[in-house]
Structure 1
Protein backbone atom coordinates (compact mmCIF):
# COMPACT_ATOMS: atom_id res chain seq x y z
CA UNK A 1 0.00 0.00 0.00
CA UNK A 2 1.45 3.33 -1.03
CA UNK A 3 1.45 6.46 1.09
CA UNK A 4 -1.91 8.17 1.40
CA UNK A 5 -2.58 11.78 0.47
CA UNK A 6 -3.86 14.32 3.00
CA UNK A 7 -7.27 14.22 1.28
CA UNK A 8 -7.44 10.39 1.49
CA UNK A 9 -6.46 10.49 5.17
CA UNK A 10 -9.12 13.12 5.94
CA UNK A 11 -11.75 11.15 3.99
CA UNK A 12 -10.83 7.97 5.87
CA UNK A 13 -10.94 9.46 9.39
CA UNK A 14 -14.25 11.19 8.60
CA UNK A 15 -15.73 7.67 8.38
CA UNK A 16 -14.33 6.49 11.74
CA UNK A 17 -15.94 7.12 15.11
CA UNK A 18 -12.78 8.24 16.94
CA UNK A 19 -13.19 7.95 20.72
CA UNK A 20 -10.89 7.74 23.74
CA UNK A 21 -7.48 6.09 23.11
CA UNK A 22 -8.40 2.88 24.95
CA UNK A 23 -11.79 2.47 23.23
CA UNK A 24 -12.59 0.86 19.89
CA UNK A 25 -12.92 3.28 16.99
CA UNK A 26 -15.50 1.64 14.70
CA UNK A 27 -15.48 2.26 10.98
CA UNK A 28 -18.92 3.67 10.18
CA UNK A 29 -19.05 3.27 6.41
CA UNK A 30 -19.11 0.14 4.24
CA UNK A 31 -18.34 -3.26 5.78
CA UNK A 32 -17.78 -6.68 4.30
CA UNK A 33 -19.73 -9.81 5.28
CA UNK A 34 -17.38 -10.49 8.20
CA UNK A 35 -17.99 -7.00 9.66
CA UNK A 36 -14.62 -5.50 8.68
CA UNK A 37 -14.67 -1.95 7.36
CA UNK A 38 -13.78 -1.50 3.70
CA UNK A 39 -12.44 1.75 2.25
CA UNK A 40 -12.12 2.55 -1.45
CA UNK A 41 -8.54 3.57 -2.14
CA UNK A 42 -7.06 4.09 -5.60
CA UNK A 43 -10.07 2.38 -7.18
CA UNK A 44 -9.73 -0.75 -5.02
CA UNK A 45 -11.29 -1.83 -1.75
CA UNK A 46 -8.92 -2.03 1.23
CA UNK A 47 -9.64 -3.18 4.76
CA UNK A 48 -10.18 -0.15 6.98
CA UNK A 49 -7.87 -1.58 9.66
CA UNK A 50 -5.02 -1.77 7.10
CA UNK A 51 -5.63 1.84 6.09
CA UNK A 52 -5.70 2.96 9.74
CA UNK A 53 -2.45 1.11 10.42
CA UNK A 54 -0.79 2.62 7.34
CA UNK A 55 -1.83 6.13 8.40
CA UNK A 56 -0.55 5.60 11.94
CA UNK A 57 2.67 3.86 10.86
CA UNK A 58 3.50 5.18 7.36
CA UNK A 59 7.03 3.74 7.36
CA UNK A 60 5.84 0.14 7.84
CA UNK A 61 5.64 -1.81 4.59
CA UNK A 62 2.31 -3.64 4.37
CA UNK A 63 2.91 -6.50 1.97
CA UNK A 64 0.10 -8.95 1.08
CA UNK A 65 1.60 -11.50 3.53
CA UNK A 66 1.21 -9.09 6.45
CA UNK A 67 -2.05 -9.33 8.36
CA UNK A 68 -3.43 -6.58 10.60
CA UNK A 69 -4.69 -8.30 13.76
CA UNK A 70 -6.98 -6.83 16.44
CA UNK A 71 -6.21 -7.03 20.17
CA UNK A 72 -9.88 -6.14 20.73
CA UNK A 73 -11.39 -8.72 18.34
CA UNK A 74 -13.73 -6.03 17.03
CA UNK A 75 -13.72 -6.28 13.20
CA UNK A 76 -14.72 -2.66 12.44
CA UNK A 77 -12.20 -1.21 14.95
CA UNK A 78 -9.64 1.18 13.44
CA UNK A 79 -7.92 2.32 16.64
CA UNK A 80 -4.19 1.95 15.84
CA UNK A 81 -3.59 1.09 19.52
CA UNK A 82 -5.76 -2.00 19.09
CA UNK A 83 -4.03 -3.18 15.93
CA UNK A 84 -0.85 -5.22 15.54
CA UNK A 85 1.05 -6.80 12.68
CA UNK A 86 1.16 -10.53 12.19
CA UNK A 87 1.18 -13.34 9.70
CA UNK A 88 -1.76 -15.55 8.82
CA UNK A 89 -0.31 -18.11 11.24
CA UNK A 90 -0.10 -15.47 14.01
CA UNK A 91 -3.72 -14.48 13.40
CA UNK A 92 -4.84 -18.11 13.54
CA UNK A 93 -2.88 -18.71 16.76
CA UNK A 94 -4.49 -15.57 18.26
CA UNK A 95 -7.91 -16.88 17.23
CA UNK A 96 -7.26 -20.28 18.85
CA UNK A 97 -5.87 -18.68 22.01
CA UNK A 98 -8.96 -16.50 22.40
CA UNK A 99 -11.34 -19.39 21.78
CA UNK A 100 -12.71 -18.16 18.47
CA UNK A 101 -11.42 -21.10 16.39
CA UNK A 102 -13.96 -23.17 14.54
CA UNK A 103 -12.67 -26.09 12.53
CA UNK A 104 -9.01 -25.22 13.11
CA UNK A 105 -6.87 -28.17 14.15
CA UNK A 106 -5.78 -28.05 17.75
CA UNK A 107 -2.20 -27.20 18.63
CA UNK A 108 0.09 -29.05 21.06
CA UNK A 109 -0.49 -26.29 23.58
CA UNK A 110 -4.24 -26.85 23.57
CA UNK A 111 -4.54 -26.71 27.35
CA UNK A 112 -2.88 -23.28 27.36
CA UNK A 113 -5.18 -22.11 24.57
CA UNK A 114 -8.24 -23.41 26.41
CA UNK A 115 -7.14 -21.66 29.60
CA UNK A 116 -6.67 -18.37 27.77
CA UNK A 117 -10.01 -18.84 26.01
CA UNK A 118 -11.74 -19.41 29.36
CA UNK A 119 -10.19 -16.23 30.81
CA UNK A 120 -11.19 -14.30 27.70
CA UNK A 121 -14.75 -15.64 27.87
CA UNK A 122 -15.00 -14.71 31.56
CA UNK A 123 -13.80 -11.18 30.75
CA UNK A 124 -16.41 -10.87 27.99
CA UNK A 125 -19.14 -12.17 30.32
CA UNK A 126 -18.12 -9.53 32.89
CA UNK A 127 -18.49 -6.79 30.23
CA UNK A 128 -21.89 -8.07 29.01
CA UNK A 129 -23.98 -6.29 31.70
CA UNK A 130 -22.48 -2.91 30.69
CA UNK A 131 -23.37 -3.60 27.05
CA UNK A 132 -26.92 -4.60 27.98
CA UNK A 133 -27.26 -1.47 30.15
CA UNK A 134 -26.15 0.72 27.24
CA UNK A 135 -28.65 -0.94 24.87
CA UNK A 136 -31.39 -0.76 27.53
CA UNK A 137 -30.69 2.97 27.93
CA UNK A 138 -31.13 3.39 24.16
CA UNK A 139 -34.44 1.53 24.36
CA UNK A 140 -35.62 3.65 27.31
CA UNK A 141 -34.68 6.83 25.44
CA UNK A 142 -36.61 5.67 22.37
CA UNK A 143 -33.44 5.46 20.28
CA UNK A 144 -33.01 2.78 17.61
CA UNK A 145 -31.37 -0.55 18.37
CA UNK A 146 -30.50 -1.46 14.82
CA UNK A 147 -27.26 -3.24 14.04
CA UNK A 148 -25.62 -0.01 12.87
CA UNK A 149 -26.77 1.91 15.94
CA UNK A 150 -25.32 -0.47 18.56
CA UNK A 151 -22.47 -2.34 16.84
CA UNK A 152 -20.02 0.34 18.00
CA UNK A 153 -20.80 -0.17 21.69
CA UNK A 154 -18.00 -1.57 23.84
CA UNK A 155 -18.38 -5.33 24.17
CA UNK A 156 -20.81 -5.80 21.24
CA UNK A 157 -18.44 -7.73 19.01
CA UNK A 158 -16.99 -9.73 21.88
CA UNK A 159 -20.51 -10.78 22.90
CA UNK A 160 -21.28 -11.74 19.30
CA UNK A 161 -18.07 -13.65 18.60
CA UNK A 162 -17.07 -15.08 21.98
CA UNK A 163 -20.48 -15.78 23.52
CA UNK A 164 -22.15 -16.57 20.21
CA UNK A 165 -24.99 -14.12 20.77
CA UNK A 166 -26.87 -12.78 17.77
CA UNK A 167 -27.85 -9.14 17.40
CA UNK A 168 -31.45 -10.06 18.16
CA UNK A 169 -30.45 -11.94 21.34
CA UNK A 170 -28.48 -8.94 22.60
CA UNK A 171 -31.43 -6.59 21.99
CA UNK A 172 -33.90 -9.06 23.61
CA UNK A 173 -31.69 -9.42 26.70
CA UNK A 174 -31.45 -5.62 26.91
CA UNK A 175 -35.27 -5.32 26.62
CA UNK A 176 -35.67 -7.82 29.46
CA UNK A 177 -33.24 -5.75 31.51
CA UNK A 178 -35.10 -2.51 30.65
CA UNK A 179 -38.44 -4.04 31.69
CA UNK A 180 -36.95 -5.33 34.95
CA UNK A 181 -35.73 -1.84 35.93
Structure 2
Protein backbone atom coordinates (compact mmCIF):
# COMPACT_ATOMS: atom_id res chain seq x y z
CA UNK A 1 0.00 0.00 0.00
CA UNK A 2 1.36 3.42 -0.93
CA UNK A 3 1.24 6.29 1.54
CA UNK A 4 0.83 9.92 0.64
CA UNK A 5 2.15 11.95 3.60
CA UNK A 6 -0.78 14.35 3.69
CA UNK A 7 -3.48 11.87 2.65
CA UNK A 8 -2.47 8.61 4.33
CA UNK A 9 -2.63 5.16 2.77
CA UNK A 10 -4.00 4.80 -0.76
CA UNK A 11 -6.23 1.91 -1.82
CA UNK A 12 -5.67 0.48 -5.27
CA UNK A 13 -8.56 -1.19 -7.08
CA UNK A 14 -7.55 -4.74 -7.92
CA UNK A 15 -10.57 -5.58 -10.07
CA UNK A 16 -11.38 -4.81 -13.69
CA UNK A 17 -9.71 -1.72 -15.18
CA UNK A 18 -10.25 0.36 -18.30
CA UNK A 19 -7.28 0.57 -20.68
CA UNK A 20 -6.65 4.07 -19.32
CA UNK A 21 -6.09 2.60 -15.86
CA UNK A 22 -9.36 3.63 -14.30
CA UNK A 23 -11.20 1.17 -12.07
CA UNK A 24 -14.38 -0.46 -13.36
CA UNK A 25 -17.25 -2.30 -11.72
CA UNK A 26 -20.18 -3.97 -13.44
CA UNK A 27 -23.41 -2.52 -12.07
CA UNK A 28 -26.19 -3.79 -14.26
CA UNK A 29 -26.74 -2.79 -16.97
CA UNK A 30 -23.42 -0.93 -17.34
CA UNK A 31 -19.82 -0.53 -16.22
CA UNK A 32 -19.13 2.29 -13.77
CA UNK A 33 -15.91 3.80 -12.47
CA UNK A 34 -15.37 2.65 -8.89
CA UNK A 35 -13.82 5.92 -7.74
CA UNK A 36 -17.07 7.71 -8.69
CA UNK A 37 -19.11 5.21 -6.66
CA UNK A 38 -16.75 5.61 -3.67
CA UNK A 39 -16.96 9.41 -3.78
CA UNK A 40 -20.75 9.41 -4.16
CA UNK A 41 -21.00 7.11 -1.12
CA UNK A 42 -18.75 9.44 0.91
CA UNK A 43 -20.54 12.69 0.03
CA UNK A 44 -24.01 11.11 0.01
CA UNK A 45 -25.14 12.45 -3.35
CA UNK A 46 -24.99 11.66 -7.06
CA UNK A 47 -22.16 13.45 -8.90
CA UNK A 48 -24.30 14.00 -11.99
CA UNK A 49 -22.16 15.82 -14.56
CA UNK A 50 -19.32 16.44 -12.09
CA UNK A 51 -16.10 14.45 -12.10
CA UNK A 52 -14.56 12.39 -9.29
CA UNK A 53 -11.04 13.82 -9.08
CA UNK A 54 -8.03 12.09 -7.49
CA UNK A 55 -5.95 14.00 -4.93
CA UNK A 56 -3.33 11.24 -5.07
CA UNK A 57 -3.06 11.55 -8.89
CA UNK A 58 -3.34 7.84 -9.63
CA UNK A 59 -6.32 6.46 -11.60
CA UNK A 60 -6.70 3.04 -9.92
CA UNK A 61 -6.74 4.47 -6.38
CA UNK A 62 -10.18 4.48 -4.79
CA UNK A 63 -9.71 5.71 -1.20
CA UNK A 64 -12.76 7.95 -0.69
CA UNK A 65 -10.77 10.53 1.31
CA UNK A 66 -8.43 10.93 -1.68
CA UNK A 67 -11.29 11.89 -4.01
CA UNK A 68 -13.14 15.16 -4.47
CA UNK A 69 -15.82 16.42 -6.86
CA UNK A 70 -14.88 18.82 -9.63
CA UNK A 71 -15.64 19.96 -13.14
CA UNK A 72 -13.91 19.27 -16.47
CA UNK A 73 -11.77 22.41 -16.21
CA UNK A 74 -10.47 21.45 -12.76
CA UNK A 75 -9.81 17.91 -14.01
CA UNK A 76 -7.61 19.24 -16.84
CA UNK A 77 -5.82 21.65 -14.50
CA UNK A 78 -5.11 18.81 -12.05
CA UNK A 79 -3.79 16.64 -14.91
CA UNK A 80 -1.45 19.35 -16.21
CA UNK A 81 0.01 20.34 -12.82
CA UNK A 82 1.96 17.11 -12.17
CA UNK A 83 2.81 16.77 -15.86
CA UNK A 84 0.54 13.77 -16.48
CA UNK A 85 -0.96 15.34 -19.57
CA UNK A 86 0.42 17.85 -22.04
CA UNK A 87 -2.23 19.64 -24.14
CA UNK A 88 0.37 20.09 -26.90
CA UNK A 89 0.23 16.30 -27.44
CA UNK A 90 -3.51 16.37 -28.07
CA UNK A 91 -4.93 16.03 -31.58
CA UNK A 92 -2.68 16.09 -34.64
CA UNK A 93 0.53 16.29 -32.65
CA UNK A 94 -0.38 13.12 -30.74
CA UNK A 95 0.70 11.08 -33.75
CA UNK A 96 4.28 12.25 -33.19
CA UNK A 97 4.65 10.52 -29.84
CA UNK A 98 7.84 8.58 -29.52
CA UNK A 99 7.83 4.89 -30.27
CA UNK A 100 8.11 2.52 -27.31
CA UNK A 101 11.32 0.65 -27.99
CA UNK A 102 12.43 -2.63 -26.36
CA UNK A 103 14.86 -0.55 -24.28
CA UNK A 104 12.02 1.60 -22.94
CA UNK A 105 10.00 -1.53 -22.18
CA UNK A 106 12.96 -2.99 -20.26
CA UNK A 107 13.37 0.27 -18.31
CA UNK A 108 9.68 0.26 -17.35
CA UNK A 109 9.73 -3.36 -16.21
CA UNK A 110 13.01 -2.92 -14.31
CA UNK A 111 11.70 0.17 -12.50
CA UNK A 112 8.50 -1.62 -11.49
CA UNK A 113 10.41 -4.74 -10.41
CA UNK A 114 12.52 -2.51 -8.16
CA UNK A 115 9.35 -1.37 -6.36
CA UNK A 116 8.35 1.68 -8.40
CA UNK A 117 4.70 2.41 -9.12
CA UNK A 118 3.25 2.89 -12.60
CA UNK A 119 2.52 6.59 -12.19
CA UNK A 120 6.03 7.47 -10.98
CA UNK A 121 7.60 5.24 -13.64
CA UNK A 122 5.55 6.94 -16.36
CA UNK A 123 6.57 10.37 -15.12
CA UNK A 124 10.25 9.45 -14.81
CA UNK A 125 10.45 7.96 -18.30
CA UNK A 126 8.25 10.59 -19.97
CA UNK A 127 5.48 8.12 -20.79
CA UNK A 128 1.76 8.18 -20.15
CA UNK A 129 0.26 5.96 -17.45
CA UNK A 130 -1.73 3.96 -20.06
CA UNK A 131 1.50 3.30 -21.99
CA UNK A 132 3.19 1.91 -18.88
CA UNK A 133 0.10 -0.15 -18.12
CA UNK A 134 0.10 -1.55 -21.67
CA UNK A 135 3.80 -2.51 -21.38
CA UNK A 136 3.06 -4.39 -18.16
CA UNK A 137 0.04 -6.17 -19.68
CA UNK A 138 2.07 -7.22 -22.72
CA UNK A 139 4.86 -8.55 -20.49
CA UNK A 140 2.32 -10.50 -18.40
CA UNK A 141 0.79 -11.97 -21.59
CA UNK A 142 4.21 -12.99 -22.91
CA UNK A 143 5.01 -14.75 -19.61
CA UNK A 144 1.74 -16.72 -19.74
Instruction: Give 1:46's match in structure 2, choosing from 15, 24, 32.
Output: 32
Cα RMSD (Å): 3.1
Q: Which residue of 2 aligns with 1:160?
A: 121
Give CA deviations for 1:80-131 in whole Å, capped at 9, x if unaligned.
11111100110001112222222259xxxxxxxxxxxxxxxxxxxxxxxxxx
**For the pair shown, which has the larger CA radius of gyration, 1 or 2?**
1
Kindly report structure 1 stretches of 4+ aligned residues shifted beyond 4 Å.
none
1:144 aligns with: none
Residue 82 of structure 2 corresponds to which residue in structure 1?
A: 98
Total equivalences in the alignment = 107
**Which residue of the partner structure matches residue 66 of structure 1?**
50
What are the ranges of 5 or more consecutive residues in structure 2 without an aligned counterpart? Answer: 90-110, 137-144
1-side partners of 2:81 and 2:38: how far apart?
25
2:60 matched to which residue of 1?
76
Query: What 5-or-longer segments of structure 1 have no aligned partner?
Result: 1-16, 106-131, 137-152, 170-181
Look up the match of 2:95.
Answer: none
2: distance between equivalents of 1:69 and 1:77?
11
1:128-156 per-position Cα deviation (integer Å, ceiling 9, x unaligned): xxxx6x944xxxxxxxxxxxxxxxx7x61
TM-score by length of 1: 0.50
- Write out aligned runs for 1:1-181 (5 A): 22-57=8-43, 59-63=44-48, 65-104=49-88, 135-136=113-114, 156-163=117-124, 164=126, 166=132
TM-score (norm 2): 0.61
**Structure showing the higher strand proportion among its residues:** 2
